[in-house]
Structure 1
């Protein structure tokens, strides 16, 4: 394996010059820089990460904590993070908070022990005070989920207004018995999407039926099981708004098990616009989040923190889009069978 001395010899420069080129210092002549880069490529030299850390006290590695790595929603968020990280020559480690052996404090310890330079949390389901305390000393960004009343840099959409918009759309299609399958009620996403659902009903003077509000856990199985409960009711709903696409897909499968057609017999809509939403049968009406942009913006904020750049703002709320597809029955109401963003 070639060493930095081999690179220096190949380029006919000193080891110090090679080190300055690799650390992107601007004190090296263009000629010597080119010689070093050519030698690095020819020898396939890989800088030693430990040596770099000892010189700079930076690992050039960040940690991302995902609430459930099997949830396809997070794949495009991760792509946004990874794309910018690659451009800035950062490595990305991923921890799955749903893993059986996940230790809540391990990711925080990695920051304290300087095993990673910064942390992006795609979940706020941790001890909030610990997270707030750590953010005062370390570079931490929250994405997708959020904590109210903190200064931790955050990137998300407005989940309340997005859920309200979806519910209002169902009301505009003349549905009057609308049920909601919530996310876990200990999560900000479950709470906020339920809040938006209730706001839309109350604004149109439609009673909020507690029996029509059932808690899921964001999984396909929970959507399926909760839908069975809703369909067993004597006064069954004519539309169901699930707080994410996976639960909506589970709900559609449950409706089919009851020999019901979606949307002819019951409308079902979701939230997130994962890739399968437009491929499912029927195609799923849902709220589209700018997942790639959320990931890229969160990485950009983390880089600003790592580089000690002052932030002009700490809370970033990105736009969402209502994607109207077949599962809501809009084409039965309007005779328009095309997908359309709202």
Structure 2
């Protein structure tokens, strides 16, 4: 007689419920995210799911609930440390919720951003997080009629769209004031793109702080940059070629500061012995530059967590408040006291 061996049946919701000591309805609510489950029950269910290697039928769940269990994330760059920190925070906020991020990039082009959002909507994402960009408020509000949206980099408060930003002006004032307290009076500024709101706020903070301290503003010490290392390098070369005296540089972002540091090194100008440098962002590598960079820290991971939690609350029609993470000056070794 031929023996037929049957493969073990895959675990089901009912098997998970029995092993976890809860009802099948509780397991379904946990998987669907349609109701809160107590911490004890959640831990028991997660333990059994891992032990049984349970794989829920996501497609069937989506068809039943009308939800894709995905959150669209529109970023501007997939390789920038600035954006990857924020995306990591979003991912952390979605952990253990049953939702997964679907990430696209708009590359700072409004038309491309709009096209990418249409792509995400076609994929039936349940909500959208936008990390800065070129879209207008009106465009974002229009998209929010089709799905809830959280935005970083602008103030926005509409029925299904909410946005917040950080105080770049105040942080820039603090950075310049720090240089002034170290005795610097000839402070150059490497600006960011003129059409970038954050860059404009940082420039205004630089200008206003000098004027409040009755230090004459020298427009020749303000040079254009583009938020990239190459722009910082070109900017510092322009400053050096101009012959203008400066003892410190405030760069509109860390990447510009890296480029400026390279330009000074090539001219045998020491940092901070000859010229001090302050950046803005506090990218991970800024603590490991030579010397470690004094900069304004943007807590972007925490920002991402706020965005992720906010979009989940919007999807669930739950009220929420955003405690905007504050910017803070991080003093390292790239600034020397003079005078």
User: TM-score with structure 1 length normalisation?
Assistant: 0.82
Deviation at 1:293, TM superposition (A): 1.3
Q: Give 2:154's match in structure 1, choosing from 146, 149, 171.
A: 146
The equivalent of 2:329 in structure 1 is 322
Unaligned runs of 5+ in 2: 1-6
Distance in structure 1 (CA, Å) of the matches to 2:93 and 2:324: 19
Alignment partner of 1:45 is 2:51: no
Tell me: CA distance 1:245–1:115, structure 2 relative to 1, closer, same or farther (3 Å): same
Distance in structure 1 (CA, Å) of the matches to 2:214 and 2:317: 50
The equivalent of 1:338 in structure 2 is none
Tell me: CA distance 1:170–1:35, structure 2 relative to 1, closer, same or farther (3 Å): closer
Distance in structure 2 (CA, Å) of the matches to 1:254 and 1:35: 58
Which deviates the most, 150-159 or 250-259?
Answer: 150-159
Matched positions, count = 320
Alignment partner of 1:22 is 2:31: no
SS in 2 for 1:270: strand
The equivalent of 1:239 in structure 2 is 248
Q: Give 1:191's match in structure 2, choosing from 168, 192, 200.
A: 200
The equivalent of 2:64 in structure 1 is 55
The equivalent of 1:81 in structure 2 is 90
The equivalent of 1:336 in structure 2 is none
Distance in structure 2 (CA, Å) of the matches to 1:212 and 1:72: 28
Q: Give 1:210's match in structure 2, choosing from 204, 219, 228.
A: 219
Deviation at 1:8, TM superposition (A): 6.3
Q: Give 2:182's match in structure 1, choosing from 170, 173, 180.
A: 173
Deviations 1:43-63 (A, max 9, x none): 633223322221111111112
Deviation at 1:194, TM superposition (A): 0.8
Distance in structure 1 (CA, Å) of the matches to 2:93 and 2:120: 21
Tell me: CA distance 1:38–1:224, structure 2 relative to 1, closer, same or farther (3 Å): closer
**Contact 1:231–1:237 (CA<8 Å) still a contact in 2?**
no
Q: Give 2:239's match in structure 1, choosing from 230, 235, 249.
A: 230
Deviation at 1:67, TM superposition (A): 1.8
**Contact 2:17–2:27 (CA<8 Å) still a contact in 1?**
no
Tell me: CA distance 1:132–1:2, structure 2 relative to 1, closer, same or farther (3 Å): farther
Deviations 1:269-307 (A, max 9, x none): 101111111110011010112222111111111111111
Which deviates the most, 239-248 or 67-76?
Answer: 67-76
Alignment partner of 1:281 is 2:287: no
**Contact 1:119–1:141 (CA<8 Å) still a contact in 2?**
yes
Which deviates the most, 299-308 or 123-132?
Answer: 123-132
Deviation at 1:147, TM superposition (A): 4.4
Deviation at 1:37, TM superposition (A): 7.8
Deviation at 1:123, TM superposition (A): 1.2
Alignment partner of 1:254 is 2:263: yes
Tell me: CA distance 1:53–1:178, structure 2 relative to 1, closer, same or farther (3 Å): same
**Contact 1:7–1:18 (CA<8 Å) still a contact in 2?**
no
Structure 1 vs Structure 2 CA RMSD: 3.2
1:68-107 paired onto structure 2 within 5 Å: 68-98=77-107, 103-107=112-116
SS in 1 for 2:242: coil
